[in-house]
Amino acid sequence: MREWRSNNMLIGLVNHTNKDHCKHRIETGMGKKGFLVDLNRQNGIPYYIQLKEQIRRRITQGVWTAGAKLPTERELAESLAVSRNTVSQAYKELESEGILSSVRGRGTFVADTLLIMQREGRKEKVLRIVDLAMEEAVGLGFSIDDFVSFVHVRGMEKKDLLSRMKVAFIVSNPEQLSDVNWNLGLGVRLLPFLLSELQESPRAQERLAGMDMAVTGVNHLTEVKTLLEKLPTPILGISLQPKLETIVRIAKLTMGRNLALVCESNQFAEKVIAALTQAGIHPAIKTLIQPSEANLREELPRCGAVILAPKLRLRVGKVLPENMECIEFHFEPDAGSLNLIRGALLEIKGEKT
């Protein structure tokens, strides 16, 4: 639990400045405010954590808004006299949290300032709960060190239990079988299953008997419950949405020629087109379902850009015309669904312990 305690004091430590600090400034194109970073070389806090927290703070303070471009890893590393890996680690962790977004060939950007503001509000709520629990523990005669130890042990027990959980993700199209890298943050294993296999094979249904939970899109929830009615596995319906950066990249494309949409199934193509329509984007789309290499070589040069299912990236990349933009179309659970899954998993493990 020592890590929790140091992180709790992190913002104050990073904000503190004195003559021992090494200050570096780099102008980033974010306006006149620039990118001012102070690294404390003596407090023992890893540089990547200091950098990460300073970026986060500038966003919460409204200094940087959604779409603001950050320096490249190399520029910032040279300016701060640290290794590029230090900057890379800070950027990657913020990207995994949905705070930054990296676009190949363009750079790293602030992804969603509203999201981080909401998270900071939730963080304050959690800290209040921690404070109340700590006061209760002290009132019962325990020391603060005892409380920290209790929380650490309990947290490790939960992590161990969750790391052994298996969750089935039942999808309606083959494209999503390889697109289940959700940020659950619980160490849970996600195992994808194709709905059509469950419909056609009782043996496929039996494979789900060992799962702790199954999740599927809300549109298929009733059917999945019917197929698995003899199994004790809890089933959860979730909402899937396209990643925000995917929609933003497509919206920024210069229209004039068709966009190629390369996928394996009509179901996926329909979901992509419906998502674009809902976002107010109406490009002319040339849909290519399970195209041959010859077909790709013929059709792609006629299009202005290509949208594809993530699992087809390597295949399409082999024949992609030079300088053509290629956008992977990812679907992921919305924030409410992710929280629903996390809560349900913790409840299941609570019942089993």
Render pLDDT for 84-106 as a digit per residue (tens, 0 to 9). Answer: 888 988 888 888 777 788 777 77
Query: How does the average pLDDT of the chain come out, rounded?
Result: 78
Query: Given pLDDT bands bounded at 50, 70 and 90, which one contains residue 1?
Result: very low
Integer Cα distance of 168 and 257 in angstroms: 40
Which is more confident, 146 or 120? 146
CB 144 within 8 A of CB 276: no
Band (pLDDT 50/70/90 cuts) for residue 26 is: very low
Which residue did the predictor score with more confidence, 284 or 116? 284
Per-residue pLDDT band at 283 (split at 50, 70, 90):
confident
Please state which CATH class domain 166-240+334-352 belongs to: alpha beta
Sign of the Cα pseudo-torsion (162, 91, 316, 290, in order) = positive
Mean pLDDT of 208-230: 86
Tracing tokens 């089933």 back to the chain, one arrives at: 235
Q: Residue 298 — very low, low, confident or very high, per pLDDT cuts 50/70/90?
A: very high
Q: Where in the chain is the domain with CATH 1.10.10.10?
A: 1-163
Write the CB contacts of 246 (distance below 8 Å, at least 6 apart in sequence): 327, 328, 329, 330
Strands 22-26 and 35-39: antiparallel
Q: How many CA atoms lie within 13 A of 348 on its CB side?
A: 22
* Across 303-307, average pLDDT: 91
Q: Cα(227)–Cα(195) distance, rounded to whole angstroms?
A: 10
Q: Which residue has the higher pLDDT, 234 or 117?
A: 234
* pLDDT of 186 strictly over 70: no
Residue 4 has pLDDT above 50, yes or no: no
CB 328 within 8 A of CB 271: no
User: By the 8 A CB rule, do 247 and 279 touch?
Assistant: yes
Instruction: Please say if the pLDDT value at position 28 is more than 70.
Output: no
- 7-16, 35-44, 103-112, 136-145: which has the minimum mean pLDDT? 7-16
- By C-alpha distance, which of 91, 90, 267, 239 is closest to 174? 267
User: According to the model, what pLDDT value does residue 17 have?
Assistant: 36
CATH 3.40.50.1860 residue spans of the chain: 244-329
Looking at residue 290, what is its pLDDT?
92
> Phi and psi of 242, rounded to 5°?
-70, 150
| pLDDT attached to residue 19 | 37
CATH code of the region 244-329? 3.40.50.1860
**Rounded Cα gap, residues 152 and 290, in angstroms:** 50
pLDDT band for position 349 (cuts 50, 70, 90): low
Considering the four listed CATH numbers 3.40.720.10, 3.30.420.40, 1.10.10.10, 3.90.280.10, the one that applies to the domain covering 1-163 is 1.10.10.10
pLDDT at 11: 32
Residue 262, pLDDT above cutoff 90: yes
pLDDT of residue 120: 60
Residue 9 has a pLDDT of 30
